[in-house]
Structure 1
Amino acid sequence: MDFISDEQVARYRRFRPEVSVAELEQFFRLDAKALEALAGKRRPATKLGWAVQWGTVRMLGTFLAEDPLDVPGVVLAFVAEQLDIDPACATEYLTRPKTAYEHAWEIRDLLELSEFSKREQEVRDYLSARVWSTIEGPRALFDRAVVHMLREGILLPTGITTLTRLISEVRRTEHARLYRTLAERAGPELRARLADLLRVPADRRVSELERLRTAPTRASGRVMVAELHRVAEIGGLGAGAVRVEPVPAVKLSALARYGLVSKAPTLRDLEGDRQAATLLATVRHLETSSVDDALDVLDLLITSNLLARAERAGKAEQLRTFPKLRKAARTVASAVEVLMSAPEATEDRLVSLVEVWKAIEEVVPREKLVSAVETVAAFVPVTDDDAAAQWRAELVKRYRTVQGFIELLLEVIRFRAVEAGTAVLAMVRMAAAMAKGRRRYGPGDVAEHEALITGSWRPLVYRNPDVPEGQIDKAAFVLCAVMHLHGALRRRDVFAEGSERWSDPRARLLDGDAWQQARPRILTSLELEVEPAGHLAELAGALEGA
């Protein structure tokens, strides 16, 4: 009984000091069957005692053998009011003790109640399903078991220790089965590799497990490469290849949480099967979390490092060129002011272009005006897409950062895409192949990805003056692909297999054999039938009744 609370002990097979109106209505409101049974009772005290016992067993799951009327006053008053009886007559019910026992047997048959000893296996199966399918603790299981027995018409055992021992036994059995199942699935070779993770190398101060479960704290190109190597190292252990379908994901998560927070000496002291199961779940979780960490670093690297720095550099360039632009704009404005003040042509007088130009050149020389127009055209975007040209050009200058990890990114992380992200993924694969070699590429080589090279990316990719004629700017193409990948990952048009935060949510649904194996115990733990029609009808009836 160590695991249950004093409150649970106090309310087991007993009334609480206060009974709510909802409980009175649910358990002590006499239905048609109860009223029919009461019709054969003659004395008011007999009717009152029978009705109180009827509601008591429905609420507490037991009969009060020593004193059937040891109930709160509101219960007596509520039942007496329904029967139009004075509750003061209740004491007469106890003059013949055998009457209460006879009524208990009668009510047991009427409600089709069963002794716990006859249906103990049913309760055991229910608890086993709950332990296997959930991470509920023993206190929650105790309450679940009581509610289950009340719902299924099973009388609670007289001693509370009967139920607590059953819960403890079921938990030990199911946990042992869980550990044994995972340990057997892991196999001796993987178990040995996992146990080696608890070893502390001579040149280090922490175990290999501690090193692998340490997440990154900043974002940079080097950190990205290190994270991808970490993903590859964890995946190389082979824990992800173990088939664990019989074990619910919630149980694996609970084992993994324990493995992630426990020190290596604590894990070394665990019993063999439990140690293997805990390490297997922990490493499988690390496979997922390491992919998440790597993609988080990629997201932070692009948004905070590459994009933010490129935008800052672009703004700095704009500020640097602002005096030139202001001077050129002033020059153009002076010429336009002369043009606007020129007299309009009439029938009597024509205004020639020569005269206008002569007037303008008196204010601004033609060569100076041409230079000013060229300056304005260079610094002022023609379209909205061109507004990003400055920072995209700055972004291309950071090509080396991306070049260092883009090939490794695709080798280590398995990307998949929905229809909207297929073209993006193909472009990124092309970019990774381009980044690792020294080959020159022309427009024809990237023609299939032309639809994604839009806006200010087009001149950067196709018309870089520093690239020989007939070639594309490889760096610009690679950065364009990475930016598309970043956007597609955020929209989940592209997702990573084995990830949690960057995955396809539909992939988490059980299907096929995995669902068929898990289905029976899940349905048992949820107290649901295979076919939903009966459950839906029950809910509809309850709603209609309410």
Structure 2
Amino acid sequence: MPVDFLSDDQVSRFGRFAADPTPGELEQFFRLDGRARELVAGKRRDATKLGWAVQWGTVRMLGTFLLDDPVAVPASTVAFVAEQLHLDPACLDDYTARPKTAYEHTWEIRDAYGYREFSAAEAEVRGFLAARVWASLEGPRALFDRAVVWLVDNRVLLPGITTLTRLVAEVRATENAALYRTLDEAVPDELRQSMRDLLKVPEGKRVSELERLRTVPMRVSGSAMTAALERAKDVRGLGAHLVPTSVVPGARMARYGMGSKAPTLRELEESRKTATLLATVRHLESASVDDALDLLDVLMASRLLARADRVGKEEKLKALPKLKRAAGRVAKAVGVLLETAPATEDGELVSVVDAWAAIEKAVPREKLAEALAIIAEVVPDEEGDEDEEWRAALATRYGTVRGFIRLLVDVVDFGAVEAGAPVVKALKQLPHLIHRKKLPATEVERELVTGSWRRLVFAAPGAEPGLADKAAYSFCVLEHLHRALRRRDVYARGGDRWGDPRAKLLAGDRWESAQPTVLTALGLEAEPAAHLAELAGALHGAYHQVVAGLPTNSAVSFKDGKLVLDRLGPAAEPKLMPAFRQLANGMLPKVDFPELLLEVADLTGMTSAFTHISGADPSMEEFELSVCALLLSEACNVGLTPVVKPNVPALTRGRLVQVDQGYLRAETISAANGMLIEAQRGIDVVRAWGGGLIASADGVRFTVPVQSLHAGYSPK
């Protein structure tokens, strides 16, 4: 591997001060402890005292001594150390009067604090780097930084930058080769050939099978859900999960396999190709299940539940006028009944006939019966609930889910905790039940059919007695599944985001074999007591620090035993901002928007993308002016009138209508937009903005280069 992988920033800060240390770094590395103060006190001159203390902090922060120039330290650092010793920072200039003094101090610090040469700890560094290669996704730059931190923490003096760079490259190459070899040897010949076939483009197709399996669902529909489950089934059918690779990490290779084109993967060395494909397919096994359940979540939430809820609310609104009239009639009847005395003055009870006679004078019996029927229809009974309207609307969308229910159960291996066990049981029975022509009510999972689902499942309008409504019961189970998945009461075995969070915890022999590598990579001890005590102490200190600052913190208060935080207000504008804004505005040229559009068209040549609908190139004069005028009218939504100029041939109404009908259409506008993006990428400052794929709306910057389940191009 080449060893010139370091960034300019890494090179500039290796073993030297690239910038002034932060206040936190000064406290951490240059705050003198008791032993350092004792050793400093043994020096005679102020310069040697300050020089020794500066070198002591330098090796603690950088991992090396600045032997070529011991005083090449930021002034803020010297001032921080000098303040602790009550010395003048300027006296450090006399520290190098006797060159050997600095060397003697380095030897003293090394002996007193146990610093080692790199050669004495090289084997330990190799072991640490090897563990990081196996247990992380870090590239060579990150590994180099990890190695520097390890050396500093373990009081090992930094070697030359080339030595450490070559060591990182060598260890990474060696461990990767071992990783490739281990995975390659575990793959049976049949699977090896099946994975190589993924790199081929089938006849009549435009992309390889691997590219098809790597393509995530982008549309939200029942047919897209079926396609997503078929994808997961195809990946699972390759059988990569049967290869025993639990102790071999392949996440980094999976990332390479997911991001590389098929021709690139075909050119890899054989063992690396097999290992990369195996890791990629293993990743796709979990990713395809997660993608399918992501799609199910979005489908249920946005396309089914949300729409049904909206329809239910619309039905409620439509029923409100009728309900209002019906309630008024019932209120009149009840009012008459309440005003009627239960008995006359002589003690004779009022008969029912007399009561009805009084009621019918206010509301006819037929109208009252009609009102009661309306109320019974609109207002849920004791067994119903407020969700009945939208659930009834949801049941009408049965065709959306009917096609993938069996595939969902066959492809995704659902598991559950105790609370989700009835949901999984009902889901696994569902394909067999809905396959029947009629669904007996005795065979459904009654524990899930609660609330308004009872009426919809067991008493649907027009349903035969003793039978259950298949559409309503299917959505009843899917609604419970959707909620249980979000609560993680139900999970997908083999999934990652939707999987069992306990599944990846190593135990038994698997943990015993992986324990040394993992502990070395993380820098932890086998016994966690000391580490937990350290974390508990830090947490305890943080709590006390927060409590101590509460009396003087005006943004925090307690109300009814609850912590109340003031809202963050807008940040104060820097003092120089008004002047800077005025300066920037003065530098901007004042141009009309049409002139700017014409200039951009001339610089980018974007008008050449507007070809005639017949395929011919434009032959009319000043075609660019006509196109820009049309773009301006469309963008500003002002119509043709403001841009029409009868005395300019390119801007007459007839010319503009002709160009609009013959040249402006979706594909030409898209092609012109692509030319603008390519031209923008050539501007230096754009590289700092994200390569031309950055959008901005209301101050929020985001990147949406491709359509996905959760993001897409606005139809507006």
TM-score bracket relative to the smaller structure:
0.7 to 0.9
Distance in 1 between residues matched to 2:357 and 2:88, nearest whole Å: 119
Measured after TM superposition, the shift of residue 161 of structure 1 is 0.9
TM-score, normalising length from structure 1?
0.84
Could you tell which deviates more after superposition, 91-100 or 476-485?
91-100
Change (3 A) 1:55 1:504: closer
Measured after TM superposition, the shift of residue 463 of structure 1 is 3.2
Change (3 A) 1:406 1:161: same
Q: Quote the residue 1:168 is aligned against.
A: 169
Identity percentage over the alignment? 58
Distance in 1 between residues matched to 2:488 and 2:322, nearest whole Å: 44
Q: Quote the residue 2:196 is aligned against.
A: 195
Distance in 1 between residues matched to 2:103 and 2:479, nearest whole Å: 80
The answer to whether the aligner puts 1:412 opposite 2:411 as a matched pair is yes
Distance in 1 between residues matched to 2:239 and 2:360, nearest whole Å: 79
Distance in 2 between residues matched to 1:255 and 1:234, nearest whole Å: 17
Q: Quote the residue 1:521 is aligned against.
A: 517
Alignment of 1:74-153 (within 5 A): 97-98=99-100, 100-153=102-155
The answer to whether the aligner puts 1:452 opposite 2:451 as a matched pair is no
Please tell me whether the aligned partners of residues 442 and 472 of structure 1 are also in contact (alpha carbons under 8 angstroms).
yes
Per the alignment, in what secondary structure is the counterpart of residue 450 of structure 2? coil
Alignment of 1:87-486 (within 5 A): 97-98=99-100, 100-157=102-159, 159-248=160-249, 251-252=250-251, 254-311=252-309, 314=312, 332=330, 335-336=333-334, 339=337, 345-348=343-346, 351-361=350-360, 365-383=364-382, 385-438=384-437, 440-443=439-442, 445-446=443-444, 449-464=445-460, 466-486=462-482
| 1:268 partner amino acid | R
Distance in 2 between residues matched to 1:358 and 1:314, nearest whole Å: 39
| 1:156 partner amino acid | L
From 497, 500, 511, the counterpart of 1:501: 497
Change (3 A) 1:267 1:372: same
Q: Quote the residue 2:632 is aligned against.
A: none
Distance in 1 between residues matched to 2:359 and 2:23, nearest whole Å: 95
Please tell me whether the aligned partners of residues 257 and 280 of structure 2 are also in contact (alpha carbons under 8 angstroms).
yes
Could you tell which deviates more after superposition, 219-228 or 194-203?
219-228
Per the alignment, in what secondary structure is the counterpart of residue 385 of structure 1? coil
Per the alignment, in what secondary structure is the counterpart of residue 446 of structure 2? helix
Please tell me whether the aligned partners of residues 453 and 472 of structure 2 are also in contact (alpha carbons under 8 angstroms).
yes
Unmatched runs of 5 consecutive residues or more in structure 2? 546-716
Please tell me whether the aligned partners of residues 231 and 412 of structure 1 are also in contact (alpha carbons under 8 angstroms).
yes
Q: Provide Cα deviations, 1:263-291, integer angstroms capped at 9, x if missing partner.
A: 22222222222222222222222222221
Could you tell which deviates more after superposition, 59-68 or 520-529?
59-68
Distance in 2 between residues matched to 1:176 and 1:28, nearest whole Å: 42
Please tell me whether the aligned partners of residues 403 and 436 of structure 1 are also in contact (alpha carbons under 8 angstroms).
no
Measured after TM superposition, the shift of residue 60 of structure 1 is 3.7
Measured after TM superposition, the shift of residue 180 of structure 1 is 2.4
Measured after TM superposition, the shift of residue 328 of structure 1 is 5.1
Could you tell which deviates more after superposition, 19-28 or 486-495?
19-28
Change (3 A) 1:479 1:90: closer
Change (3 A) 1:344 1:196: same
| 1:10 partner amino acid | S
Distance in 2 between residues matched to 1:441 and 1:190, nearest whole Å: 45
Distance in 1 between residues matched to 2:365 and 2:64, nearest whole Å: 106
Please tell me whether the aligned partners of residues 310 and 395 of structure 1 are also in contact (alpha carbons under 8 angstroms).
yes
Measured after TM superposition, the shift of residue 395 of structure 1 is 3.4
Could you tell which deviates more after superposition, 322-331 or 367-376?
322-331
Distance in 2 between residues matched to 1:22 and 1:274, nearest whole Å: 44
Q: Provide Cα deviations, 1:203-237, integer angstroms capped at 9, x if missing partner.
A: 11111112122222223333322222221111101
| 2:519 partner amino acid | L
Distance in 1 between residues matched to 2:345 and 2:372, nearest whole Å: 33
Change (3 A) 1:368 1:144: closer
Q: Provide Cα deviations, 1:68-96, integer angstroms capped at 9, x if missing partner.
A: 55555666666666667777776776566
Measured after TM superposition, the shift of residue 20 of structure 1 is 5.5
Higher relative contact order (CA 8 A, sep 6+): 1
| 2:284 partner amino acid | L
Could you tell which deviates more after superposition, 202-211 or 3-12?
3-12
Change (3 A) 1:399 1:440: same
Please tell me whether the aligned partners of residues 383 and 452 of structure 2 are also in contact (alpha carbons under 8 angstroms).
no
Please tell me whether the aligned partners of residues 217 and 224 of structure 2 are also in contact (alpha carbons under 8 angstroms).
yes
Change (3 A) 1:191 1:36: same
For these two proteins, the number of residue pairs brought into alignment is: 538
Change (3 A) 1:176 1:362: same
Change (3 A) 1:311 1:117: closer
Measured after TM superposition, the shift of residue 100 of structure 1 is 4.7
Distance in 2 between residues matched to 1:357 and 1:539, nearest whole Å: 79
Could you tell which deviates more after superposition, 483-492 or 23-32?
23-32
Distance in 2 between residues matched to 1:526 and 1:93, nearest whole Å: 40
Distance in 2 between residues matched to 1:42 and 1:81, nearest whole Å: 18
Please tell me whether the aligned partners of residues 63 and 152 of structure 2 are also in contact (alpha carbons under 8 angstroms).
yes
Distance in 2 between residues matched to 1:405 and 1:174, nearest whole Å: 44
Change (3 A) 1:410 1:108: same
Distance in 1 between residues matched to 2:533 and 2:439, nearest whole Å: 69
Measured after TM superposition, the shift of residue 453 of structure 1 is 1.9
Distance in 1 between residues matched to 2:359 and 2:27, nearest whole Å: 97
Q: Quote the residue 1:512 is aligned against.
A: 508
Q: Provide Cα deviations, 1:348-400, integer angstroms capped at 9, x if missing partner.
A: 48544333434544565544543443343233323482443344334334444
Could you tell which deviates more after superposition, 83-92 or 404-413?
83-92
| 2:452 partner amino acid | S
Distance in 1 between residues matched to 2:437 and 2:72, nearest whole Å: 91
Could you tell which deviates more after superposition, 31-40 or 80-89?
80-89
Measured after TM superposition, the shift of residue 160 of structure 1 is 1.9
Q: Quote the residue 1:12 is aligned against.
A: 14
Distance in 1 between residues matched to 2:316 and 2:46, nearest whole Å: 97
Could you tell which deviates more after superposition, 165-174 or 483-492?
483-492
Could you tell which deviates more after superposition, 478-487 or 317-326?
317-326
Distance in 1 between residues matched to 2:329 and 2:27, nearest whole Å: 90
Distance in 1 between residues matched to 2:227 and 2:218, nearest whole Å: 12
Measured after TM superposition, the shift of residue 489 of structure 1 is 1.9
Q: Which structure has greater helix proportion?
A: 1
| 1:113 partner amino acid | Y
| 2:482 partner amino acid | H
Could you tell which deviates more after superposition, 119-128 or 25-34?
25-34
Please tell me whether the aligned partners of residues 334 and 364 of structure 1 are also in contact (alpha carbons under 8 angstroms).
yes
Please tell me whether the aligned partners of residues 115 and 156 of structure 2 are also in contact (alpha carbons under 8 angstroms).
yes
Could you tell which deviates more after superposition, 479-488 or 386-395?
386-395
Please tell me whether the aligned partners of residues 432 and 478 of structure 1 are also in contact (alpha carbons under 8 angstroms).
no
Q: Quote the residue 2:631 is aligned against.
A: none
Could you tell which deviates more after superposition, 212-221 or 467-476?
467-476
